[in-house]
Amino acid sequence: EIVLTQSPGTLSLSPGERVTLSCRASQSITSGYLAWYQQKPGQAPRLLMFGASNRATGIPDRFSGSGSGTDFTLAISRLEPGDFALYYCQQYDTAPWTFGQGTKLEIK
């Protein structure tokens, strides 16, 4: 199965800053079949991005995704208080669909 490794594990930042989250795959993900989710405590994950760089419905353009092959990135510009949460990447190139272990974005 494809293993996704997210880094860093935790990021401490302040509102207004820009952040970049990394997701690295153990083998190449064709056609950019990678999604990103945001999860807050006690809630289900929320789809942010799919196809590596496509924003889901209602996701502001402060969120952007990029990457190909084995290296993917989620960037968030101008962090807002509601952005501090857990972020997961997920590949849907090869079953079983797998998720990264997550990056926690916390307020500094």
Spatial separation of the C-alpha atoms in residues 38 and 69, rounded to whole Å? 22
Tokens of 54: 């496509």
> Given the complex with another protein, which of 77 and 94 has the nearer CB atom?
94
Tokens of 20: 């970049």
Q: Phi and psi (nearest 5°) for 51?
A: 55, 30
> Given the complex with another protein, which of 45 and 67 has the nearer CB atom?
45
Positions that interact with another protein (CB under 8 A): 35, 37, 44-45, 47, 50, 56-57, 88, 90, 92, 95-102
Measured from the CB of residue 105, what is the shortest distance to another protein in angstroms?
15
> Given the complex with another protein, which of 3 and 107 has the nearer CB atom?
3
